[in-house]
Copies of this chain bind each other. A is one copy, B any other.
Amino acid sequence: MKAFDELLAHRRVTEALSSVAERLSWDQETVMPRGATEQRAEEMAAMESVLHERRTDPRIGEWLDRAEPQDDEDARIIELIGRDFSRASKIPARLATELARITSLGQGIWASARANEAPEEFLPTLNEILTLKREEASALADGATGATELYDALLDDYEPDTKSADIAAIFDRMRPRLVALREEILGADHQPAALTGAFSHDAQFRLARTCATAFGYDWSRGRMDLAVHPFSSGRWQDSRITTRVVEAEPFNCIYSTIHEVGHSCYELGIDSDYAFTPLGRGVSMGVHESQSRMFENQMGRSRAFTEWLYHRLVEIFGPLSTPDATAFYETVNRVAPGYIRTEADEVQYNLHIMLRFDLERDLIAGRLDTDDLTEAWNTRFQKDFGLAVDRPSNGVLQDVHWSVGLFGYFPTYTLGNVYAGCLNRAMRAEVPDLDAGLTRGDATAGTEWLRENVQRHGALLPPRALVEQATGEPISEVPLLDYLERKFGEIYRL
């Protein structure tokens, strides 16, 4: 066999095994009996050890040396396999094991500290995690120890092809406009009301299925279950979504469903020829988030779609606390002061991310000590949100990410929103009748545009090149900010 074919054949099995591991995680979060935790941990560890061995198999290096690409696709496959092999090989086994152990413990310690409102119970562990993550970053950066190199090495795992300096530049341009918009909104005379009422569990779940169908989710290659924290899972022929139901808050179920449908449609929309190859997955966390956010926000929270949604809710639950579709649209997009990132509206969400991005860069760089983290969080929050954090679970302890070692992940959320802004402008220009479909509860013209221009390519192009090819313009935060100012300017009559 030729070296390139050896590479592909080897990777094919690795991809299949990693898909199995992902399915196992899905099982754990949805259907697994609660008493099976220890067994599952051992099963996952066994899968990880097999995967680690395959990913660092020295034959990959030999095949890479000899592989001859026939076209751009081959070249990209070789590039991606080389990148994975290089990353996997640079991390010493001891470090990987220690990181796995501490981040597995970390999540439990964080959850308990959050429940006890006691950062001091978690911060020593966070310190240990940081030490190991710095060590990991330095290994990945070939021994470099500068602040920028360290953070970039971590970021590269989630958003290859983007540097923290680029992100910082974008964020610095976004922040003043977002802070100003937020202040204008909260000071406006017109303030939409929140939705009140009771919305039964089963009816919400059925409505969520209807919404998933409206966005073109392929039920023959997916399914929907309940989970504490909604997520999507799987690829190719099998990408499942989860949702949650809170009886007083139907938007929670509806929009987390549409969000996850966005992620799943991306995976299901990839060219099926790419299955079991490195091209067969979403190319970065940022691009992934751009798809889920466009489903959720630019389409799902549009005037057009909420018109349809309003009538569905009235049909199912009877008259609502909002008198008509316009008031309902405003309620869906209501901006209210709040501490929690995952509950934030389109305007405030990105401010949450910027806060975390700056703090975690300082933590990795050693410029910020974990002892000073709570204060740094609270000071910054006061500044951007005009609000004093009332307790740690509403502040520094609210997110799971750092406790499981996810440093460099947060900025991809806002990068996803920036990509979504660019893609939305192009999509709206090229699909002029999108709103007509959305008003009928049919978002598939949008889904199809995204599949054609973004999703089907999988990881063939790097993230920024992919988005720029789809939009014909360089990446910029301007379309997102323009969109937000226009949309919320109208709603709040600014």
Contacts and interface: CB of A to CB of B under 8 A. Distances in A.
A216 to B, nearest CB: 14
Given A237-B39, A238-B39, A238-B40, A17 B34 contact: no
A446 interface: no
B49 A13 contact: yes
A461 to B, nearest CB: 24
Given A17-B46, A17-B50, A37-B237, 19 more contacts: A12-B42, A13-B49, A16-B43, A16-B45, A16-B46, A20-B24, A31-B31, A31-B223, A33-B219, A33-B240, A34-B220, A35-B218, A35-B238, A36-B221, A36-B236, A36-B237, A38-B237, A39-B237, A39-B238
A32 interface: yes
16 contacts: A16-B43, A16-B45, A16-B46, A16-B47, A20-B20, A20-B24, A20-B43, A20-B46, A33-B221, A33-B237, A33-B238, A35-B237, A36-B236, A36-B237, A37-B237, A39-B238
A205 interface: no
A220 B226 CA distance: 18
A108 to B, nearest CB: 18
B47 A20 contact: yes
A223 B47 contact: no
Interface in A163-190: none
A406 B23 CA distance: 29
B33 A27 contact: no
* Chain A interface residue number, banded: 35 or more
Interface string A337-381: 000000000000000000000000000000000000000000000
The SS class assigned to the A binding surface is helix
B220 A35 contact: yes
Contacts of A45: 16
A319 to B, nearest CB: 31
A19 interface: yes
Contacts of A36: 221, 236-238
B42 A16 contact: yes
Nearest to A17: B46
Interface in A188-234: 218-223
Nearest to A238: B36
- List the number of copies, as a whole number: 2
The 5 A-B pairs at the shortest CB distance, nearest first, are namely A16-B46, A36-B238, A35-B220, A39-B237, A36-B237
A272 to B, nearest CB: 10
Nearest to A276: B42
Nearest to A53: B50
Contacts of A31: 31, 223
User: By CB atoms of chain B within 10 A, which of A19, A32, A237 has the most?
Assistant: A237
A275 interface: yes
B35 A27 contact: no
A218 B33 CA distance: 10
A275 B20 contact: no
Interface string A35-66: 11111101101110110000000000000000
Interface in A1-34: 12-13, 16-17, 19-20, 23-24, 27, 31-34
A19 B38 contact: no
Contacts of A12: 42, 46
Nearest to A20: B43
Nearest to A21: B20
A275 B38 CA distance: 11
Contacts of A37: 237
Contacts of A38: 237
A282 B237 CA distance: 35
A35 B238 CA distance: 7
Contacts of A42: 12, 16, 276
Interface string A382-426: 000000000000000000000000000000000000000000000
Nearest to A45: B16
Contacts of A275: 39
Contact of A23 (B17, B27, B46, B240): B27
A291 to B, nearest CB: 20
Nearest to A34: B220
Contact of A43 (B19, B35, B43, B222): B19
A34 B238 CA distance: 9
Contact of A33 (B35, B43, B222): B222
Nearest to A26: B27
